[in-house]
A and B are shown apart, each in its own frame.
Chain A
């Protein structure tokens, strides 16, 4: 499974387990900036860790400090391996834009239609620096 995306914020290519969120999330108050753990008890993926994952975001809500939380995750080495958004979120992505200005290594953020998220669920996913997104066949698919 592969798909073409639009690059929202350029960054380092990333590979990791897909984490497909099933509800919008508020990064401020919703994600622990030190660990990358989803802290919002009302969120369906509460307790999952976004660090190192290819994070699929159906939407974001809430505070205008989401950018600060994402930049803090980058600075703490707990950012997702790549971000896949249904639509550009200028407040959240500002965290990556500013981190790039600080010359920190930042993950790439790309745009992909929400209805394609499911085909990556549970897989090992690679997002290239050119914005290409690829699901690798592997252990998680029951194959060697």
Chain B
């Protein structure tokens, strides 16, 4: 079936202004995707304001010149600069100026200055069953899986075009029949102590992404709700190792009260029974520098740290002085709470470098030292840091990350899967 636009959409698409440009971009994408129509959306989360080169800045400024404004609530993912001034970004001119112009253009288009990859913890939580257009892989998977709102993975440029038109192509995960699980990912063979540990969720997420790819699965064998930060870590890791846009956890996520309800057919197409050995291998696979004797830095906060995660960090540091810095990436929503009670100053006095509005794998922040070793508790940082920063990675729990930062050498607590 070919794409049909309603007369109002056709009229907008015929315009020479920014709205016309946005509508043509949405319609052309819909045509390529084979969508029969456009549907109204309730909100967007925009990943397109991260500087990759001048062309993206020029595009955003063209929309501004054309008088375009977002038609629905639109939050912004990270940019390439720390506008809060917490950390020093080593981006040189003229790139720095172009990155700033880009961030400014998205502000002028009417986007909220959220600058976070965890908008769902900054007050942007679309309702169950609503259609939205979100970008950034972890935000997309959280929005679909944990909130039960419906979005595809909206790439750069299409996200802002959807925001301006308030429309998205009707295809993929917007359609209920495409949201059902075809695979079971059974973790009941793992020890309860492992499943209760902090590392379980990033490690299982990384394994899940590699095992299921872009298929939709339901996780079974989880005793109770592991908490929102655990689901955030699971989704982020799964969306970095595979093209996961939606997962279900039986008894935990909103579209999967039980396995039978969410399965697409009477029987799953495959059952992946996770063994302790598979979990141990997945955990080992997150590290690229297993034999390192010292570390140069710790990075946490991918996705951005919540207030509760800062509580945990502060408790573990317990006022001690760090031998190597902990880069703690977060959004200004969490920063506001930290500022309120003087905690930011205390953390910084210990040697924590707070990074706001951005993060250490999307823009140059950590020193370019060559052969550096980075420790992290984030499955997503573990995936992207070697390629994007040049640092080799060690994966560990937050507690081990903090102890290692205090000592300047890696410390691991054994948790048997």
Instruction: Note whether A and B form a binding pair.
Output: yes
Q: Is B174 an interface residue (CB 8 A)?
A: no
The 4 A-B residue pairs whose C-beta atoms are closest, nearest first, are A72-B53, A64-B155, A75-B55, A91-B155
Chain A positions within 8 Å of B153 at CB level? 64, 91
Q: Which of B25, B33, B47, B387 contacts A64 (CB 8 A)?
A: B47
Q: Provided the pairs A33-B53, A72-B53, A93-B32 are in contact, do residues A67 and B156 lie with their beta carbons within 8 angstroms?
A: yes
Q: Which of A61, A64, A95, A102 contacts B135 (CB 8 A)?
A: A64
Of all chain A residues, the one with the shortest Cβ separation from B54 is A75
User: Which residues of chain B from 233 to 249 have a CB within 8 Å of any chain A CB?
Assistant: 243
Q: Interface size bucket, A side?
A: 20 to 34
Of all chain B residues, the one with the shortest Cβ separation from A88 is B32
Q: What are 27 A-B residue pairs whose CB atoms fall within 8 Å in the complex?
A: A8-B32, A29-B387, A29-B388, A33-B52, A62-B243, A64-B136, A64-B137, A64-B153, A64-B154, A65-B47, A67-B158, A68-B52, A68-B55, A68-B156, A71-B157, A75-B53, A76-B53, A76-B55, A88-B32, A90-B32, A91-B158, A94-B29, A94-B155, A97-B28, A101-B21, A101-B24, A102-B62
Of all chain B residues, the one with the shortest Cβ separation from A103 is B62
- Least CB distance, B50 to chain A, in whole angstroms: 7
Chain B positions within 8 Å of A133 at CB level? none
Chain A positions within 8 Å of B136 at CB level? 64
Q: Which of A66, A74, A91, A97 contacts B55 (CB 8 A)?
A: A74
A-B contact count (CB 8 A): 92
Chain A positions within 8 Å of B59 at CB level? 71, 98, 101-102
Apart from A64-B136, A72-B53, what are 11 other A-B pairs with CB-CB below 8 Å? A9-B28, A66-B155, A68-B55, A68-B157, A71-B59, A88-B33, A90-B33, A90-B158, A91-B153, A94-B157, A102-B62
- Least CB distance, B46 to chain A, in whole angstroms: 11
| 0 or 1 for each of A78-108: is its CB under 8 Å from B? (1 = yes) | 0000000000101101110111011000000
Contact A67 B58 (CB under 8 A): no
Q: Is A112 an interface residue (CB 8 A)?
A: no
Contact B55 A72 (CB under 8 A): yes
Chain A positions within 8 Å of B364 at CB level? none
| 0 or 1 for each of A54-70: is its CB under 8 Å from B? (1 = yes) | 00000001111111110
Instruction: Report the separation of the CA atoms of residues A90 and B28 in the bound assembly, to the nearest whole angstrom.
Output: 9
Chain A positions within 8 Å of B33 at CB level? 88, 90
Q: How many of B's residues come within 8 Å of A, CB to CB?
A: 30
Instruction: Report the separation of the CA atoms of residues A8 and B32 in the bound assembly, to the nearest whole angstrom.
Output: 7
Contact A69 B52 (CB under 8 A): yes
Chain B positions within 8 Å of A94 at CB level? 25, 28-29, 155-158
Instruction: Report the separation of the CA atoms of residues A68 and B54 in the bound assembly, to the nearest whole angstrom.
Output: 10
Of all chain A residues, the one with the shortest Cβ separation from B47 is A64
| 0 or 1 for each of B121-154: is its CB under 8 Å from A? (1 = yes) | 0000000000000011100000000000000011
Instruction: Report the separation of the CA atoms of residues A71 and B52 in the bound assembly, to the nearest whole angstrom.
Output: 10
Q: Is B48 an interface residue (CB 8 A)?
A: yes
User: Which residues of chain B from 44 to 80 have a CB within 8 Å of any chain A CB?
Assistant: 47-48, 50, 52-56, 58-59, 62
Chain A positions within 8 Å of B25 at CB level? 94, 97-98, 101
Chain B positions within 8 Å of A67 at CB level? 155-158
Of all chain B residues, the one with the shortest Cβ separation from A97 is B28
Of all chain A residues, the one with the shortest Cβ separation from B52 is A68
Instruction: Report the separation of the CA atoms of residues A36 and B135 in the bound assembly, to the nearest whole angstrom.
Output: 25
